[in-house]
């Protein structure tokens, strides 16, 4: 899995944010299950084949810690955010999304609905 740098073009943040790019079915299925807590500067982008609410939904079974979840559409616009609690059954965005960014919960305030996000591949 390759890494991307996440940039919030609307509200740039001072601390860098790198994320794995999970575009395969396996990456989307496994997400961050069975992994220890994320470092503040790292995360995972789950890439859906199409922009949708249903496929962008996540579960938190077997996830060891809470996560900040940022849903992003095809145009790079943040369409929803939430603090996902470990072992919670289901979270879905309020609007269709193609990208699901899972990051350390302390980074939730770095993103707001309407922000524009860019993924810079290394």
pLDDT in tens, 29-44: 555 555 677 788 999 9
Cβ-Cβ contacts under 8 Å for 61 (sequence gap 6 or more): 33, 87, 89
Model pLDDT for residues 70-116, shown as the tens digit of each residue: 999 999 999 999 999 988 888 999 999 999 999 999 999 999 999 99
Q: Which residue has the tokens 């770095």?
A: 110
Domain coverage including residue 101: 3-121
Number of domains forming the structure of the chain: 1
Cβ-Cβ contacts under 8 Å for 43 (sequence gap 6 or more): 6, 17, 18, 19, 20, 101, 102, 103, 104, 107
- What's the CATH code of the domain at 20? 2.60.120.1140
What sign results for the dihedral spanned by CA atoms 19, 90, 8, 22? Answer: positive
State the pTM of this model: 0.89
Using CA atoms, how far residue 119 sits from 6, 34, 37, 112, in Å, is 5, 25, 22, 16
């Amino acid at each position: 899995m390759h890494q991307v740098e996440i940039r919030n073009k609307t509200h740039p943040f001072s601390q860098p944010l790198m994320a794995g790019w999970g575009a395969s079915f396996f990456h989307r299925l496994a997400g961050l299950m069975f992994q220890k807590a994320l470092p503040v500067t790292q995360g995972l982008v789950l890439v859906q084949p199409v922009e949708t609410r249903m496929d962008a939904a996540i579960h938190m079974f077997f996830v060891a810690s809470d996560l900040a979840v940022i849903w992003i559409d095809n145009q790079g616009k943040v369409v929803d955010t939430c603090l996902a609690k470990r072992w919670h059954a289901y979270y879905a965005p309020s609007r269709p999304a193609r990208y699901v960014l899972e990051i350390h919960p302390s980074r939730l305030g770095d993103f707001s609905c309407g922000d524009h996000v860019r993924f810079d591949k290394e």
